[in-house]
Chains A and B, each alone.
Chain A
Amino acid sequence: MGFEVPKEKFGGRIKEVAIGATKEYGGTRRAKLVAGGSNGLPFHLFEGESGPMPLVAMDVVDTMRMVPERLQETMGPSLADPAGWAKKCEAEWGADMCVLKLASANPEEEDRPAEELEALVSKVLQTTALPLAVYGCGFEEKDAKVMEKVSNVAKGERLFLGLAEEKAYKSLAAASMANGHGIVAFSNLDINLAKQMNILLLDFGMKPENILMDPLMAPLGMGLEYSYSNIERLRLGALSGDPVLQMPMICDCSCAWTVPEALEENPEHGDVKMRGIYWETITALSAAVAGAGIVVMRHPESVKMLRDTLKSLAGGE
Chain B
Amino acid sequence: MPTAMEIYKLLPKTNCGECKFPTCLAFAMQLANQKVSLEACPSVSDEAKAQLEESGAPPIRSVTIGSGELAVKMGDETQLFRHDKTFYNPTVLGLIADDSAGLEAMRTRVDDAHSAAFERVGQILRVDSVALRHSSGSEEDYLEAVKAAAGKELPIVLMCEDAALAAKAADACADKKPLLYRATGANFDAMAELAKGRSLPLVVGGVAGLDELVELSERAKKAGLSDVLLEPPIDSSGKMLENMTVIRRAAIKSKFRPLGFPTIAVLGSSTADKMNASLGVMKYASAIMMEEMPRDFVYPLLALRQNIYTDPQVPIQVKPGLYPVGEPTESSPVMFTTNFSLTYFTVRADIEKSKVPAWLLVVDTEGQSVMTAFAAGKMTPESVAKAVDDFKVKEKSNRNEIIIPGMVSRMSGKLNELTDLKVTVGPRESSGLPKMMKSLA
Q: Please give the residue numbers on chain A whose beta carbons come within 8 Å of chain B beta carbons, in ascending order.
A: 1, 3, 5-6, 8, 43-46, 108-109, 218, 220-226, 228-229, 232-233, 236, 258-262, 268-275, 278-279, 281-282, 285-286, 289, 305, 308-309, 312-317
Contact = CB atoms under 8 A, between A and B. Distances in A.
B271 A222 contact: no
25 contacts: A3-B210, A3-B250, A3-B256, A6-B249, A8-B249, A43-B237, A43-B241, A44-B241, A221-B306, A223-B345, A224-B307, A225-B307, A228-B307, A229-B81, A236-B81, A270-B299, A275-B300, A279-B300, A282-B304, A286-B282, A289-B282, A305-B271, A313-B241, A315-B238, A317-B235
Interface in B295-319: 295-301, 303-304, 306-308, 310, 312
Contacts of B298: 270
Contacts of B118: 268-269
Contact of B349 (A1, A259, A270, A274): A259
A274 B242 contact: no
Nearest to B309: A225
Nearest to A3: B214
A289 B278 CA distance: 11
A313 B246 contact: no
A286 B218 CA distance: 34
A309 B282 CA distance: 14
Given A232-B81, A270-B297, A278-B297, A285 B218 contact: no
A281 B304 CA distance: 11
B294 A233 contact: no
Nearest to B81: A232
A250 B18 CA distance: 64
B245 A44 contact: yes
**Which secondary structure dominates chain A's binding surface?**
helix
Q: Could you say which of B254, B275, B301 has the most chain A C-beta atoms within 10 Å of its C-beta? A: B275
A236 B272 CA distance: 28
Interface of B: 81-83, 118, 120, 210-211, 214, 218, 235-238, 241-242, 245-246, 249-250, 253-254, 256, 258-259, 271-272, 274-275, 278-279, 282-283, 294-301, 303-304, 306-308, 310, 312, 341-342, 345-346, 348-349, 352, 432, 435
A6 B246 contact: yes
Contacts of B310: 225
Nearest to B303: A221
Contacts of A259: 345, 349
Nearest to B340: A223
A133 B431 CA distance: 23
A3 B250 CA distance: 9
Contacts of B307: 220-221, 223-225, 228
Contacts of B241: 43-44, 289, 313
Contact of A269 (B249, B274, B296, B345): B296
A106 to B, nearest CB: 9
B282 A225 contact: no
Contacts of A5: 210, 246, 250
Contacts of A315: 236, 238
Contact of A3 (B81, B258, B272, B275): B258
Given A229-B81, A308-B275, A315-B236, 11 more contacts: A6-B246, A6-B249, A233-B83, A269-B295, A269-B296, A274-B296, A289-B279, A289-B283, A308-B272, A309-B275, A313-B238
A309 B308 contact: no
Nearest to B270: A308
Contact of A312 (B210, B272, B294): B272
Contacts of B304: 220, 224, 282, 286
- Pick the 7 closest A-B CB pairs, nearest first: A270-B296, A270-B295, A312-B237, A275-B296, A229-B83, A274-B296, A225-B307
Nearest to B306: A221
A204 to B, nearest CB: 25
Contacts of A1: 214, 218, 256, 258
